[in-house]
Amino acid sequence: MDELRQKIREFLIEFKEIMLQRGLDVIPRKENIDALAELGLTRKNRTDEIMNLAVEDYCSGPELDNDRPGYVWIFGKQINGMNIYIKLKIAEIEEQKIAKCLSFHKAQYPLCFPCKERSD
């Protein structure tokens, strides 16, 4: 588990550094756009939520991206009483890294958080 936590931490650090340098590229899918209105969030709020992701918010990954080269990471967060599914990727276009948000919407299935501390 420690090795996984370290990989997640390294991904989040790199992703956030790219976000700070170049911004966040959000895929304009209808469900991603509708989620902001449903949650009462602005695009800046969404960016802030992603910047505040922690190892404990990790759900799964890295998994091979089905559509394009590279790997995706899945995170989840409770925002305004709703479980939010967040899919992120560091994409490379012409040797330049881009922080991509492929999904940011209400979770359609229960999320699991393997790195959250259990209190049982």
pLDDT at residue 94, as a whole number: 86
Residue 29 lies in a domain: yes
Residue 95 lies in a domain: yes
For residue 119, pLDDT beyond 60: no
Rounded to the nearest integer, the mean pLDDT of the chain is 91
Q: How many domains does the chain have?
A: 1
Tokens of 107: 């979770």
118/57: higher pLDDT: 57
CA distances 116 to 26, 38, 61, Å, are: 26, 26, 15
Q: Yes or no: say if 68 and 50 are a contact pair by the CB < 8 Å rule.
A: no
What does the pLDDT look like over 10-40, one tens digit per residue?
999 999 999 999 999 999 899 998 999 899 9
Q: Report, as an integer, the average pLDDT of 105-112.
A: 93
69/7: higher pLDDT: 7
Q: Report, as an integer, the average pLDDT of 84-112.
A: 93
Q: 6-11 long-range CB contacts below 8 Å, 24 or more apart?
A: 7/62, 8/55, 8/58, 8/73, 8/115, 9/55, 11/62, 11/73, 11/90
Residue 118 lies in a domain: no
Tokens of 105: 């919407």
Residue 45 lies in a domain: yes
Residue 101 lies in a domain: yes
What does the pLDDT look like over 53-73, one tens digit per residue?
999 999 999 999 988 888 999
Range of the structural domain that residue 29 is part of:
2-106
For residue 1, pLDDT beyond 70: no
